[in-house]
Structures are given as C-alpha cells and as structure tokens.
Amino acid sequence: MYQRLRDLREDRDWTQKELAAMLGMSQTGYSKYETGENDIPTSILLKLADIYGTTTDYLLGRTDTFAPPKKK
C-alpha cells in the first residue's frame, strides 16, 4: 500500500510537501504515511482516493484495478 501511495504521487510529479498541503497537513506527517510509520486515518484515505480519482480498495492494495469510484 505504501509504495502505491508513493508511486501515485510521483506519477503526478508532486512532492510530499505539495500533497501534504492538499491534505491540510505537514510534509513530515504525510511522509510517515508513505513509509508506513503511521497508519493512515480513514478521513485522509478518503481524501487521497478523491485526489487520485480512485477507490480506497485500490489505495489499500485490495484490488489492482485503478477505477474511479462508482456514482451512487
């Protein structure tokens, strides 16, 4: 999961600092998510899925299908 987060960020040429700003947090705090040092809170996981246009299942490694969330 953690490598997937890093890959998604790097694919967009974003720094940790830029992504952290989108999430309203510090670069250091976000870095700990990418390294697995800290667990990712549900609220942050949902924001990341929205930012990347995918599902939480994809971010968590439960599927390899990068699919946008289905509309209700």
Residue 20 falls within a domain, yes or no? yes
For residue range 16-70, list pLDDT tens digits in order: 999 999 999 999 999 999 999 999 999 999 999 999 999 999 999 998 878 776 6
Q: Is residue 69 part of a domain?
A: no
Parent domain of 41: 2-59
* Residue 64: inside a domain: no
Any domain includes 55: yes
CATH number, domain of 39, equals 1.10.260.40
Number of domains present in the structure of the chain: 1
> What CA dihedral angle connects 67, 34, 16 and 19, to 10 degrees?
40
- What CA–CA distance (Å, rounded) separates 49 from 54? 5
Residue-wise pLDDT for 53-65, tens only, equals 999 999 999 988 7
Q: Is 0.75 topped by the overall pTM?
A: yes
